[in-house]
Structure 1
Amino acid sequence: MNIEQFVAQSLGEWRSMRSGHSLAFQQFEDVLSEITITQLDTDNKEIKEAIKNSSQPDDSSYISPFKMEWNAESDWEPDDPTAVSSGSCIIIPIPKDQTSGHLLRSVGYAESFPAESSYRFLNDGTFILETNYEQSIAQERIWFVSEHVRCRSSVLKTSEGSGILQSSFASEVRRIKV
């Protein structure tokens, strides 16, 4: 698996069911999400701006940029249990070689500001993503069970890596348009 294959296989609309365990708050959370992943044109001005504002050189060879949008309903919304969380981010892969590289994200997974992550693929095609934030480290794994089903797990650690703050597991099923 390489990043182009991974992005191509991820495009589309997904229904996600995620269970999370917040060790910091001693709380379980169930989240249902609608996720849409669309390919972006490499000349997109938001992509050029994100690269300019990153630590990557301006001549970075990025490929397969995409946009991810989501709407999520959680059973752990303290103020309003019917509240829907939504958002989007642009993700720009910059391969180092066939199985590893960097990702620029307009919004991070654990903290809401631009993030730079490193990625790699295991021999079985599992995508491993690690992002170092100011307050935490996020590690994600995404793997395809079949063409239309994928799984995702994540662990959020303290910035020193000494303690686990949160863990989650999601199964995601592609919406097939008939």
Structure 2
Amino acid sequence: MRFSPPMTMMDFFRKSEGTWFTQRTVHHFDAVADESGESNLIVRVLEADNPLVLQVCEAQRIDPARALGGAAFTWQDNLETDDPGPNRAAVLVDLPTDASRRSGRLLRNQGYVENIPVASRYAFAPDGVLTIDTEYVNNQGQERCWFISDHFRIRVSTVRLMGGVNLMTYCSERRCVLPDSLEALRSRHAAGVAAPR
């Protein structure tokens, strides 16, 4: 069966829900320590009436009725088990601006580049590539993300200062199979039952 990429932000969030193993390569164009490495990204979908969605809308003076929902993101070093804490977390809220819901604005309680509330613009290309553009106070960021399959996706991003590109990042992300899912697969295999498609 042919893979169909998500074409709206809420579908993108739903397909992203779960834990992802991220391999990250970072290219800095100035004298900054290498930030390449491996980490986990945990994504949880938030429905429109979730208090976190309402908080982000109210903080940016946006009518919450315009929001379709959002997602809560946390990240941690690979194999880390402690709670990542608020400095490694963000909430994104989807505000589509056209009937197709393929473009719109993303509200975020704190930015990736600058730790301030931000509003980004997003759009899905016909092939499913998602582009997010963010204007910060001193920087501009652009991120592109696309699914290769249900369980593998790519993210690339750039950060631009007034003098030009400051850094570029490439991430490949694989969905993690959690222990409960592994146990369910093992039980089905032992019973001779085919895994659901």
Confirm or deny a common fold (TM above 0.5). Answer: yes
Counterpart in 2 of 1:71?
A: 76
Per-residue CA distance 1:42-88 (angstroms, 9 max, x = gap):
222232121122153x1552113110010036xxxxxxxxxx89611
After the TM superposition, which residues 21-170 of structure 1 pair with which residues of structure 2 at under 5 Å, given as runs?
21-25=27-31, 28-54=34-60, 56=62, 58=63, 60-72=65-77, 87-97=88-98, 98=100, 99-158=102-161, 160=162, 162-170=163-171
- Residue 14 of structure 2 aligns with an amino acid whose one-letter code is A
Q: Give 1:31 shift.
A: 2.0
Q: Percent identity among equivalent residues?
A: 28
Name the structure where helix makes up a greater proportion of residues.
Answer: 2
* CA distance in 2 between partners of 1:44 and 1:3 (Å): 17
**Which of 24-33 and 124-133 deviates more?**
24-33
**Unaligned 5+ residue runs, structure 1?**
74-83
Counterpart in 1 of 2:26?
A: 20
- Residue 3 of structure 1 aligns with an amino acid whose one-letter code is M
RMSD over equivalenced CA pairs, Å: 1.9
* CA distance in 1 between partners of 2:125 and 2:29 (Å): 28
Contact 1:60/1:94 (<8 A) preserved:
no
**Unaligned 5+ residue runs, structure 2?**
1-6, 79-83, 183-197
Contact 1:62/1:94 (<8 A) preserved:
yes
- Residue 158 of structure 2 aligns with an amino acid whose one-letter code is V
Contact 2:129/2:145 (<8 A) preserved:
yes
TM-score (norm 1): 0.85
* CA distance in 2 between partners of 1:31 and 1:105 (Å): 24
Q: Give 1:142 shift.
A: 0.4
Per-residue CA distance 1:94-148 (angstroms, 9 max, x = gap):
0012210000111111011211100001111001001100110010000001110
* CA distance in 2 between partners of 1:174 and 1:16 (Å): 9
Q: Which has the larger radius of gyration?
A: 2
* CA distance in 2 between partners of 1:69 and 1:154 (Å): 18
Contact 1:7/1:64 (<8 A) preserved:
no
* CA distance in 2 between partners of 1:148 and 1:102 (Å): 26
Q: Secondary structure at the match of 2:35?
A: strand
